[in-house]
Amino acid sequence: MSNEAKISRRGLFMKIGILFNGVVATALAVPIVQYVASSISRSRANGYLSWVSLGRAGDFPEGETRLATFRNPFVTPTDGKTADTACWVRRIEGEQFQVFAVNCAHLGCPVRWFPQSGLFMCPCHGGAYYRDGSRASGPPERGLFEYPIKIQNGEITIHAGELPTPGSASAKGTADKQTASLDSRTPCA
Protein backbone atom coordinates (compact mmCIF):
# COMPACT_ATOMS: atom_id res chain seq x y z
CA MET A 1 0.00 0.00 0.00
CA SER A 2 2.95 2.33 0.54
CA ASN A 3 3.60 2.43 -3.23
CA GLU A 4 0.09 3.71 -3.92
CA ALA A 5 0.58 6.44 -1.41
CA LYS A 6 3.53 7.79 -3.44
CA ILE A 7 1.50 8.35 -6.62
CA SER A 8 0.29 11.90 -6.50
CA ARG A 9 -2.72 13.17 -8.42
CA ARG A 10 -0.49 15.15 -10.81
CA GLY A 11 1.88 12.22 -11.19
CA LEU A 12 -1.06 10.04 -12.23
CA PHE A 13 -2.22 12.68 -14.73
CA MET A 14 1.30 12.81 -16.17
CA LYS A 15 1.25 9.04 -16.69
CA ILE A 16 -2.19 9.17 -18.26
CA GLY A 17 -0.95 12.06 -20.43
CA ILE A 18 1.97 9.95 -21.70
CA LEU A 19 -0.37 7.00 -22.31
CA PHE A 20 -2.79 9.29 -24.18
CA ASN A 21 0.06 10.51 -26.41
CA GLY A 22 1.08 6.91 -27.03
CA VAL A 23 -2.45 5.98 -28.12
CA VAL A 24 -2.69 9.01 -30.44
CA ALA A 25 0.78 8.31 -31.89
CA THR A 26 -0.19 4.71 -32.60
CA ALA A 27 -3.42 5.82 -34.24
CA LEU A 28 -1.50 8.31 -36.40
CA ALA A 29 1.17 5.74 -37.24
CA VAL A 30 -1.37 3.56 -39.07
CA PRO A 31 -2.17 6.02 -41.89
CA ILE A 32 1.48 7.18 -42.02
CA VAL A 33 2.74 3.64 -42.56
CA GLN A 34 -0.02 3.04 -45.12
CA TYR A 35 1.02 6.23 -46.94
CA VAL A 36 4.70 5.32 -46.97
CA ALA A 37 4.00 1.75 -48.10
CA SER A 38 1.35 2.75 -50.65
CA SER A 39 3.65 1.92 -53.58
CA ILE A 40 3.90 -1.65 -52.25
CA SER A 41 0.23 -2.13 -51.34
CA ARG A 42 -0.91 -0.78 -54.68
CA SER A 43 1.26 -3.29 -56.47
CA ARG A 44 -0.40 -6.07 -54.43
CA ALA A 45 -3.97 -4.81 -54.77
CA ASN A 46 -4.51 -3.66 -58.38
CA GLY A 47 -1.10 -4.51 -59.73
CA TYR A 48 0.85 -2.20 -61.99
CA LEU A 49 0.79 -4.55 -64.95
CA SER A 50 -1.50 -4.24 -67.94
CA TRP A 51 -1.51 -5.01 -71.66
CA VAL A 52 0.33 -2.44 -73.76
CA SER A 53 0.45 -2.25 -77.55
CA LEU A 54 3.79 -2.16 -79.37
CA GLY A 55 2.22 -1.48 -82.74
CA ARG A 56 1.25 -3.63 -85.69
CA ALA A 57 2.81 -7.10 -85.77
CA GLY A 58 3.41 -6.62 -89.49
CA ASP A 59 5.84 -3.78 -88.77
CA PHE A 60 8.33 -6.27 -87.35
CA PRO A 61 10.13 -8.21 -90.08
CA GLU A 62 10.44 -11.96 -89.71
CA GLY A 63 13.75 -13.26 -88.43
CA GLU A 64 14.79 -9.87 -87.05
CA THR A 65 15.02 -8.26 -83.65
CA ARG A 66 14.00 -4.60 -83.36
CA LEU A 67 13.86 -2.05 -80.59
CA ALA A 68 10.33 -0.94 -79.71
CA THR A 69 9.17 1.65 -77.19
CA PHE A 70 5.99 2.02 -75.19
CA ARG A 71 4.60 4.39 -72.57
CA ASN A 72 4.40 2.71 -69.18
CA PRO A 73 0.74 2.00 -68.33
CA PHE A 74 1.16 3.47 -64.83
CA VAL A 75 2.31 7.10 -65.00
CA THR A 76 2.35 10.12 -62.71
CA PRO A 77 2.28 13.75 -63.90
CA THR A 78 5.97 14.33 -63.14
CA ASP A 79 7.37 11.27 -64.91
CA GLY A 80 8.44 13.03 -68.10
CA LYS A 81 10.48 10.83 -70.43
CA THR A 82 11.17 8.29 -67.67
CA ALA A 83 7.80 6.61 -68.28
CA ASP A 84 8.88 5.71 -71.82
CA THR A 85 10.28 2.22 -71.91
CA ALA A 86 12.22 0.30 -74.52
CA CYS A 87 12.07 -3.42 -75.27
CA TRP A 88 13.52 -5.80 -77.86
CA VAL A 89 10.98 -7.45 -80.16
CA ARG A 90 12.08 -10.63 -81.93
CA ARG A 91 9.80 -11.96 -84.63
CA ILE A 92 10.80 -15.56 -85.06
CA GLU A 93 8.36 -16.36 -87.87
CA GLY A 94 4.67 -15.81 -88.59
CA GLU A 95 2.89 -15.03 -85.32
CA GLN A 96 5.73 -16.29 -83.19
CA PHE A 97 7.26 -13.44 -81.18
CA GLN A 98 9.54 -12.93 -78.23
CA VAL A 99 9.71 -9.58 -76.42
CA PHE A 100 12.62 -8.99 -74.07
CA ALA A 101 13.19 -6.26 -71.50
CA VAL A 102 16.23 -4.13 -72.31
CA ASN A 103 17.34 -4.55 -68.69
CA CYS A 104 20.18 -7.02 -68.23
CA ALA A 105 19.20 -9.84 -65.86
CA HIS A 106 22.41 -9.17 -63.91
CA LEU A 107 22.00 -5.60 -62.65
CA GLY A 108 19.60 -3.95 -65.06
CA CYS A 109 21.87 -2.06 -67.51
CA PRO A 110 20.45 -1.70 -71.05
CA VAL A 111 21.54 -4.55 -73.35
CA ARG A 112 22.15 -3.90 -77.06
CA TRP A 113 21.33 -6.25 -79.93
CA PHE A 114 24.02 -7.10 -82.46
CA PRO A 115 22.31 -8.79 -85.41
CA GLN A 116 25.61 -9.79 -87.09
CA SER A 117 26.76 -11.97 -84.22
CA GLY A 118 23.24 -12.71 -82.99
CA LEU A 119 24.02 -11.59 -79.47
CA PHE A 120 22.66 -9.18 -76.91
CA MET A 121 25.59 -7.54 -75.11
CA CYS A 122 25.51 -5.58 -71.88
CA PRO A 123 27.89 -2.61 -71.64
CA CYS A 124 28.20 -2.68 -67.83
CA HIS A 125 29.60 -6.00 -66.68
CA GLY A 126 29.85 -7.90 -69.97
CA GLY A 127 26.79 -10.15 -69.82
CA ALA A 128 25.84 -11.67 -73.21
CA TYR A 129 22.68 -13.44 -74.38
CA TYR A 130 21.76 -15.43 -77.49
CA ARG A 131 19.06 -14.30 -79.93
CA ASP A 132 16.41 -16.27 -78.03
CA GLY A 133 17.31 -14.39 -74.85
CA SER A 134 19.03 -17.33 -73.15
CA ARG A 135 22.23 -16.65 -71.25
CA ALA A 136 25.40 -16.86 -73.34
CA SER A 137 28.13 -15.68 -70.98
CA GLY A 138 29.14 -13.26 -68.27
CA PRO A 139 27.76 -12.58 -64.81
CA PRO A 140 23.98 -12.98 -65.42
CA GLU A 141 22.63 -16.11 -63.80
CA ARG A 142 19.63 -16.38 -66.15
CA GLY A 143 18.30 -15.29 -69.53
CA LEU A 144 16.76 -11.94 -70.41
CA PHE A 145 13.42 -10.99 -68.84
CA GLU A 146 10.63 -11.79 -71.26
CA TYR A 147 7.22 -10.10 -71.46
CA PRO A 148 4.07 -12.20 -71.93
CA ILE A 149 2.66 -11.53 -75.42
CA LYS A 150 -0.79 -11.47 -77.02
CA ILE A 151 -1.50 -10.74 -80.65
CA GLN A 152 -4.92 -9.18 -81.13
CA ASN A 153 -6.28 -7.78 -84.39
CA GLY A 154 -2.82 -7.74 -85.87
CA GLU A 155 -1.36 -5.75 -82.95
CA ILE A 156 1.32 -7.08 -80.69
CA THR A 157 0.63 -6.38 -77.01
CA ILE A 158 2.76 -7.19 -74.00
CA HIS A 159 1.94 -7.46 -70.31
CA ALA A 160 4.18 -4.78 -68.81
CA GLY A 161 4.35 -1.96 -66.29
CA GLU A 162 7.11 -2.79 -63.80
CA LEU A 163 10.87 -2.40 -63.87
CA PRO A 164 11.98 -5.99 -64.47
CA THR A 165 14.28 -7.12 -61.66
CA PRO A 166 15.12 -10.66 -60.54
CA GLY A 167 12.53 -10.36 -57.75
CA SER A 168 9.63 -8.68 -59.58
CA ALA A 169 6.38 -10.40 -60.53
CA SER A 170 6.86 -9.46 -64.17
CA ALA A 171 10.19 -11.23 -64.27
CA LYS A 172 8.75 -14.67 -63.73
CA GLY A 173 8.74 -15.18 -67.48
CA THR A 174 12.25 -16.00 -68.51
CA ALA A 175 14.03 -16.66 -71.73
CA ASP A 176 15.90 -19.56 -70.21
CA LYS A 177 13.22 -22.02 -71.20
CA GLN A 178 14.92 -22.19 -74.56
CA THR A 179 18.45 -22.52 -73.35
CA ALA A 180 19.53 -23.90 -76.67
CA SER A 181 23.13 -23.00 -76.11
CA LEU A 182 25.52 -24.99 -78.16
CA ASP A 183 27.62 -25.97 -75.20
CA SER A 184 26.47 -29.55 -75.34
CA ARG A 185 26.81 -29.96 -79.07
CA THR A 186 29.68 -31.57 -80.80
CA PRO A 187 31.87 -29.43 -83.00
CA CYS A 188 30.62 -29.59 -86.54
CA ALA A 189 33.18 -27.77 -88.64
Distance CA 97, CA 38 (A): 35
Taking the complex as a whole, how short is the minimal distance between the CB of residue 145 and other proteins, in angstroms?
11
Do 65 and 81 meet the contact criterion of CB atoms below 8 Å apart? no
- Tell me which of 17, 33, 141, 154 binds other proteins, using CB under 8 A: 141
Q: By C-beta, is 2 or 39 nearer to other proteins?
A: 39
20-28, 54-62, 150-158, 181-189 -> range binding other proteins (CB under 8 A): 181-189
Taking the complex as a whole, how short is the minimal distance between the CB of residue 184 and other proteins, in angstroms?
9
The DSSP letter of residue 187 is P
Applying CB under 8 A, does 188 fall inside the site for other proteins?
yes
Distance CA 158, CA 98 (A): 10
* Three-state DSSP state, 176: helix
Count of residues near other proteins by CB under 8 A: 65
Taking the complex as a whole, how short is the minimal distance between the CB of residue 130 and other proteins, in angstroms?
7
- Collect all residues with Cβ–Cβ distance below 8 Å to 65 and sequence separation of at least 6: 88, 89, 90, 91, 113, 115, 131
Task: State phi, psi for 26 to the nearest 5 degrees.
Answer: -65, -45
Residues that bind other proteins (CB under 8 A): 36-37, 39-40, 43, 48, 67, 69, 72, 74-86, 102-103, 106-112, 114, 116-119, 121, 123-126, 128, 130-131, 136-141, 161-163, 165-169, 181-183, 185, 187-189
